[in-house]
Amino acid sequence: MKILVINSGSSSIKYKLYESTGDNHDFKVLAQGGAERIGISGASVDCKKTGCEKEHQYLDLPDHKKAINAIFQMLTEPEKGVLKSLSELSGVGHRVVHGGEDFTGSVLITGDVVAAIRKNSVLAPLHNPPNLMGIQAIHELYPDMPQVAVFDTAIHQTMPPKAYLYGLPKEQYTVHKIRRYGFHGTSHGYVAKQAAKELNRPFEKLKIITCHLGNGGSITAFDGGKSVDTSMGLTPLAGILMGTRSGDLDPYIPLHIMETQGLSSEQVSAMMNKQGGLLGLCGQRDMRDVLEGYEKGYEGCIEALDIFVYAIQKYIGAYAAAMNGVNVIVFTAGIGENVPQVREKVLANFGYLGLKVDKRANKANKTVITSAISKVKALVIHTDEEKVIASDTFDILKAKKK
């Protein structure tokens, strides 16, 4: 079965073409690429067939439909393409950011699903509309192509009310749906299950804290195989310090800034989402640059790294308390997978739980980075959100065929 995974953003579309090599979730990547600068001058599309050079074309891409069409043409190009025709494709899996309370798992896309994603756009105005543009473009071009939506929020729908309700008048939730939703669900769920597999323990019997540390970052607590709390909230701004996002703030701060500095909500939103985080604190958004500054003894970088690590430690501590224990801590995504200094600093404060870091394993980015006698295990697991989308799409298409 061949499955195309699509992540459709406002001006770009990324894709990966998978082929399942068996009856389970063994996939090989046949090709990957994307369309850039959709609706902007200098648009382009590319395709990298596995094991080959990347093909790149500049062409006019005024909208998502043209971009999807260009991607499909490249995939089916007679000489260099990877598909003979689109009929080889069993279906398309889409990353959709916000499923609100409507979706607790991945679903085959129907008119009702599109309407529900549209309804939830109010909760993710920057993400759901461009996700929908990708879905609609394919539907218009190939109305019979089965499409599946995989939601960033779905896995967190198992959180209990004590974790998802905010201390606001109740109608803010009942009428306006203001609550904690959480994000990065495909990544958290995947690495938590992989960690249980690595340890040869049933996922449902473990208390796991997963730390997804990329440009965006969030921490999730899994108890009994379910997400019971997560650090992002109504929006992906909440939680730990991120590349350019502030993470948790005193909730009055944005209002205070607007009142005292005369800034608009758009300006304060940009400050918190795009000018905050590591960037706001030390002028560097990329962890590699922060680390370089840290090594050179730059005060701003030392402070920013301290704040980054401290926020993660506080969430791990809070979730260990919330779950009345923790068996496994997992690190994933760009920083979680590649930066031993951050992991070592974070884990330094959990000796009281019986956690002992194996410094050599940690430095070498091994999978298990705690010693054999450590009561709490810490693991590094490579996240693969596209593969989760391919797996869910595979399962749904297989069930549909029956």
Q: Tokens 């703030």 sit at which residue?
A: 249
Greatest CA separation found in the chain? 63
Of 150 and 335, which CB lies nearer to ligand ADP in the complex structure? 335
- Compute the least distance from the CB of residue 194 to ligand ADP, in Å: 16
From 46, 60, 152, 306, active-site residue = 152
Nearest to 304 by CA among 296, 294, 312: 294
Of 216 and 233, which CB lies nearer to ligand ADP in the complex structure? 216
Spatial distance between the Cα atoms of 62 and 35, rounded to a whole number of angstroms: 11
Contact between residue 148 and residue 109 where contact means Cβ atoms under 8 Å apart = yes
- Compute the least distance from the CB of residue 215 to ligand ADP, in Å: 4
Interface contacts to ligand ADP, rule CB under 6 A: 214-216, 243, 286-288, 333-335, 338-339
Identify whether 23 is a catalytic site residue. Answer: no
Amino acid at 400: K
Of 206 and 381, which CB lies nearer to ligand ADP in the complex structure? 381
- Compute the least distance from the CB of residue 278 to ligand ADP, in Å: 8
Contact between residue 104 and residue 157 where contact means Cβ atoms under 8 Å apart = yes
- Compute the least distance from the CB of residue 225 to ligand ADP, in Å: 25
- Compute the least distance from the CB of residue 83 to ligand ADP, in Å: 27
Of 136 and 215, which CB lies nearer to ligand ADP in the complex structure? 215
- Compute the least distance from the CB of residue 335 to ligand ADP, in Å: 4
In this chain, which residue has its C-beta nearest to ligand ADP?
334
- Compute the least distance from the CB of residue 337 to ligand ADP, in Å: 7
Of 304 and 316, which CB lies nearer to ligand ADP in the complex structure? 304
Of 96 and 335, which CB lies nearer to ligand ADP in the complex structure? 335
Contact between residue 98 and residue 123 where contact means Cβ atoms under 8 Å apart = yes
Of 66 and 127, which CB lies nearer to ligand ADP in the complex structure? 127
Q: Which residues are catalytically annotated?
A: 152
